[in-house]
Structure 1
Amino acid sequence: MAYPKDRFDELPDDLQRIGAHRGPARRGRGWIAFAWAALASLVLILGGIIGLRTFMGIEVDIPFLSAAPAPTSSPAPAPTSSPTAEPVLDPSSIDPARAITTSIYNGTTAAELQNTVGDALAAAGWTIDARARASTSDVAVTTVYYSDPANEDVARGLVVALGIGEISLIPAETFPGNPLNIVIGADYPGATPAG
């Protein structure tokens, strides 16, 4: 069956463009798409940080969106090194060239204990870079982990400042980028929530 021809079956010969998709691309369209993608990425990143703080209780300091590194796994206690280094009792005496950073992880069920301990140490002059919940909440003994034997003196000083705990030399990859890490255990005063 043949259909009769109508005006849409015949096109003029001088028509240069057929359909809008063959028109020239407008200038700047690529940058507009890039700007929308960048804005969407920023919104997702900020939403993730807010979600971590709100729902997971993880404290994230945001000086240019750098999150506190979380431990990759719960640290396995290593044998404590022999007491050869004298503890640093005055944190202001630590040479800044050593670039020592300290992170605090709450390994108990007590809420916000990492902030309470961090505030107390900061008031005593210690530099605390990150505070967060540990990957587990059943840590028994408060421990200061250090990955460089040269930092044993500072680790011992932190134990003295805490008034409780022990030190443990660990491989550097356990807490990457953090030379000193305090994991608060159930033996710390105030680690058991009231109730």
Structure 2
Amino acid sequence: MTTRHPRDRFDEIADGPRVGAHRGVQRRGRGWIAFAWAALATGVLVGLGVLVLALLNGSYSFSGSDSPAPASSATATATAKPSSSASPSTPAAQAPAAGTPAQQGTSSLVVLNGTTTTGLAAKGSAALTNAGWKVTSTGDAGTTGTTATIVYYQQASQAAVARGIAKSLGVTAVQQSAAFPNADISVVLGADYAG
């Protein structure tokens, strides 16, 4: 025998608002929001990982002593202070006159294009070669917004040779820096270099 229960509101089926533990229809696009957050988190984590690896590898540092000065401040330093009244901290003022191609010895010399002008490194290399300097290689610098040409050298003993190279190029900015470890002397040609 079957027992019948009294009739109540649950016996009627209607397509009204859902009651109880039923979930409503999900809105469109919710999957894209989750994907966007996941992509953003992945990008941030990858960026932090690259930065940490670069710091551990030594290819990037936050200390100002090893990095070259911005081109505008280097130009201001080189043009604002004549060599006779330069401060004692300026290596260019302490060293003797500019070196000659014969004094280059085994020093490696690299010419880099720091601008968007195509072929500027080749022009600078040709000018130095015609002046008697031995250019090891040419290429593009890491940035393309350099305004002033600067000759960088690694060791204090190379200062005279760096000044001689700068003189051959018709510039005066010379700076000691370890920012270019692949060469003893690195020339970064800026927008001021006419060729």
The interval holding the TM-score normalised by the smaller chain is 0.5 to 0.7
Q: CA deviation at 1:95?
A: 6.2
Q: How big is each residue's C-alpha offset from its partner over 1:8-42, in whole Å with a ceiling of 9 and x where there is no partner?
A: xxxxxxxxxxxxxxxxxxxxxxxxxxxxxxxxxxx
> Counterpart of 2:143 in structure 1: which amino acid?
T
Kept in 2: contact 1:101–1:179 (CA 8 A): yes
Q: CA deviation at 1:82?
A: 4.2
Q: Secondary structure at the match of 2:111?
A: strand
Poorly superposed stretches of 4+, deviation over 4 Å: none
Residues 1:112 and 2:122 are matched in the alignment: no
State how 1:96-111 maps to structure 2 within 5 Å: 96=105, 99-111=106-118
Residues 1:86 and 2:96 are matched in the alignment: yes
Q: Secondary structure at the match of 2:94?
A: coil
**TM-score, normalised to structure 1's length?**
0.53
Match of 1:188 among 185, 189, 193: 193
Q: Distance in 2 between matches of 1:166 and 1:130?
A: 21
Kept in 2: contact 1:144–1:158 (CA 8 A): yes
> Counterpart of 1:83 in structure 2: which amino acid?
A
Q: How big is each residue's C-alpha offset from its partner over 1:23-67, in whole Å with a ceiling of 9 and x where there is no partner?
A: xxxxxxxxxxxxxxxxxxxxxxxxxxxxxxxxxxxxxxxxxxxxx
Aligned residues: 114
RMSD between superposed Cα atoms in Å: 2.3
Q: CA deviation at 1:165?
A: 3.8
User: Larger helix proportion, structure 1 or 2?
Assistant: 2
Residue 121 of structure 1 corresponds to: 128
Q: How big is each residue's C-alpha offset from its partner over 1:139-171, in whole Å with a ceiling of 9 and x where there is no partner?
A: 011000011000000011011101114001112
Q: How big is each residue's C-alpha offset from its partner over 1:83-141, in whole Å with a ceiling of 9 and x where there is no partner?
A: 1223345312x163xx2010000001111110011011101110100100111110011
Q: Distance in 1 between matches of 2:174 and 2:191?
A: 16
Residue 176 of structure 2 corresponds to: 169
Same amino acid, percent of matched pairs: 30
> Counterpart of 1:147 in structure 2: which amino acid?
Q
Residue 150 of structure 1 corresponds to: 157
> Counterpart of 2:138 in structure 1: which amino acid?
R
> Counterpart of 2:170 in structure 1: which amino acid?
G
Which has more radius of gyration?
2
Q: Secondary structure at the match of 1:182?
A: strand
